[in-house]
Chains A and B, each alone.
Chain A
Amino acid sequence: EPEVTQTPSHQVTQMGQEVILRCVPISNHLYFYWYRQILGQKVEFLVSFYNNEISEKSEIFDDQFSVERPDGSNFTLKIRSTKLEDSAMYFCASSEALGLNNEQFFGPGTRLTVL
């Protein structure tokens, strides 16, 4: 069964460093998302992406964050200058459609630790 994959599974970085989290969505999906989950808290929406542009973003997704689909398969989340509070699990998701059929399928996550 097709699945969303993410790399790396764990990333440890120093505060102020740039990180790039990578995702390969399900191949026939057209909508892509990033979410994050701080330890012990809810899963929070960061951004949605369709047709090579951001569809929607949350207030968390500030200028330090960017997303890109550099080729036909990868979808990346970049954090330019990491802060301690960026430590979280980051989940990529994809869906075939929006609206009534918006089943989103999630990857296993990247655990980001900022020291």
Chain B
Amino acid sequence: SQQGEEDPQALSIQEGENATMNCSYKTSINNLQWYRQNSGRGLVHLILIRSNEREKHSGRLRVTLDTSKKSSSLLITASRAADTASYFCATPGGTSYGKLTFGQGTILTVHP
């Protein structure tokens, strides 16, 4: 399996609902990052959570990290149509920890 696998692959919700996306990874990490990508556009950095943190908040985003289960979740509360995008988790690795390995992503659709 690949490092950084998200589930579900696709999520469709109504505006105002919460959206939860999960990410699993294989190797030890020192941080995990979540990114958003609008269709055909660049990657927007959302949040970084360090391996010694269990939860982190940023606005309507809440990220958790469970290093014992090698998993992370991204919760978007009170979703908006503008949240429609693909969401990726990414973990650093490689010889210098500069290489980010991305998952396949979760496609989130928020219906107005």
Contacts and interface: CB of A to CB of B under 8 A. Distances in A.
B99 A45 contact: yes
A105 interface: yes
A42 B103 contact: yes
A18 interface: no
B68 interface: no
Contact of B33 (A31, A50, A58, A103): A103
B36 to A, nearest CB: 11
A109 interface: yes
B104 interface: yes
Interface string B87-112: 01010101111111111110000000
B26 interface: no
Contact of A55 (B51, B98, B102): B98
- From DSSP, what is the main secondary structure of chain A's interface residues? strand
B107 to A, nearest CB: 11
Given A100-B30, A100-B31, A103-B48, A95 B42 contact: no
B69 interface: no
B33 A55 contact: no
Contact of A56 (B51, B95, B101): B95
Interface of A: 31, 33, 35, 42-45, 48, 50, 55-56, 58, 89, 91, 93, 95, 98-109, 111
Given A56-B94, A98-B92, 14 more contacts: A33-B98, A35-B100, A42-B105, A43-B43, A43-B100, A45-B99, A56-B96, A89-B40, A91-B43, A95-B98, A98-B96, A100-B31, A102-B97, A104-B100
Interface of B: 2, 30-31, 33, 35, 40-45, 48, 50-51, 88, 90, 92, 94-105
10 contacts: A33-B99, A35-B100, A45-B100, A48-B98, A56-B95, A98-B92, A101-B31, A101-B48, A102-B31, A103-B45
